[in-house]
Amino acid sequence: MLEEVGQEIAQLIVRVAQGETSKSEEMSHQEFILIPGDVLDFGLF
């Protein structure tokens, strides 16, 4: 059971890395974003 779930997660990671839209992207969620380092250097965050 656990191994099967691990395989499903690994396959999902590969599909998203290859361009498949994630569920959060489909729903326009942006709770997790990457902030460029230069923004951090200016003390904005």
Give the residue from 27, 44, 26 showing the smallest Cα distance to 35.
Answer: 44
Task: Please give the pLDDT value at position 25.
Answer: 87
Residues 6/14/19/16 CA torsion (nearest 10 deg): 20
Would you kindly state where each structural domain of the chain is located, as residue ranges?
Answer: 2-41
- Tell me the pLDDT tens digit for each residue of 4-41: 999 999 999 999 999 999 988 899 886 766 666 665 55
More confident residue, 13 or 42: 13
Query: What contacts 41, CB < 8 A, 6 or more positions away?
Result: none
Task: Please give the pLDDT value at position 34.
Answer: 67
Task: Please give the pLDDT value at position 16.
Answer: 92
Task: Please give the pLDDT value at position 17.
Answer: 92
CA 42 to chain centre: 25
